[in-house]
Amino acid sequence: MTKQLAIVGASGHGKVVADIAELLGFTVKFYDDAYPSKTHIEHWPIHGTCADLIVLNTSDSSFGYDVVVAIGNNEIRLQKIKLLQQNNFNLITLIHPSAVISQYAAIAQGTVVFAGVVINAFAKVGAGCIINTGAVVEHDCIIDDFAHICPNVALAGGVIVGSKSWVGIGSQVKQLVSIGNNCLIGAGSTVLKNIPDNVIAFGSPAVAK
Ligand SMILES: CC(=O)SCCNC(=O)CCNC(=O)[C@H](O)C(C)(C)COP(=O)(O)OP(=O)(O)OC[C@H]1O[C@@H](n2cnc3c(N)ncnc32)[C@H](O)[C@@H]1OP(=O)(O)O
């Protein structure tokens, strides 16, 4: 039977998620709250809002679509994932075939892992995260739920990234450093010291804004 996947979020990020899903053999359908003012993303039609998807899944027992949320904003992604879980959707984890994931790493539900990512032994990645193109998550790292590790980020061994934190493109984080919850690390930063919760920091070395 064909694998079927509803993608919530018709954005640039959603296009990459759809590409991975198709590579893995899924038929995809997009849903986005901008519907009906937005009806397509590239060649893919948008079939309705997230609420429409929930109604469809509730009213039609043969609908049978798994779901993934492809929204870059960490807080909105969290809210949509919680809503879909409350409505009994099967939230899947998508991993690009070129990603290298240690047999000893753990990745929780609803996370997407893009092309060229490496996740090494005993790293733990929480639920609803984005591990973006080419990121390296070294051994023993802990990435909490709904974080976004942007393209080409390098997290050295034992780094902790808190819930809903965003580590900007091309950043690097020294071993054993902790980044708190709800942080934003600017593009191209070098994080050498712990960052407390709710802080925007950038630069090399990264300092709080
Ligand atoms: C697939 C994808 O596309 S994933 C998306 C990847 N994108 C990212 O990672 C972007 C991350 N965001 C950033 O780096 C942003 O610049 C932020 C959030 C750190 C700061 O944004 P803002 O608050 O809007 O800051 P703003 O752009 O006004 O810049 C303020 C000052 O900080 C400097 N600055 C901003 N970001 C950085 C940075 N990453 N590193 C060094 N300096 C920076 C600016 O040059 C500016 O300096 P100036 O006052 O001397 O001119």
Residue 62 has pLDDT above 90, yes or no: no
Average pLDDT over residues 176-195: 98
Which value, in Å, is the radius of gyration of the alpha carbons in the chain?
A: 17
CA atoms within 13 A on the CB side of 53: 32
Pair of tokens at residue 38: 């937005």
The atom number, within ligand 1, closest to the CA of 133 reads: 1
CA distance 8 to 54: 11
The 3-class secondary structure across 107-137, one letter per residue, is: ECCCCEECCCCEECCCCEECCCCEECCCCEE
In ligand 1, which atom is closest to the CA atom of 201? 19
How does pLDDT run across 137-169, given as a tens digit for each residue?
Answer: 999 999 999 999 999 999 999 999 999 999 999
The greatest distance separating any two alpha carbons of the chain, rounded to the nearest whole angstrom, comes to: 54
- 139 noted as active-site residue: yes
What is the distance in A from the centroid of ligand 1 to the CA of 187?
Answer: 6
Measured in degrees and rounded to the nearest 5, phi and psi for residue 101 equal -115, 125
Q: Is the CB of 199 under 6 A from ligand 1?
A: no
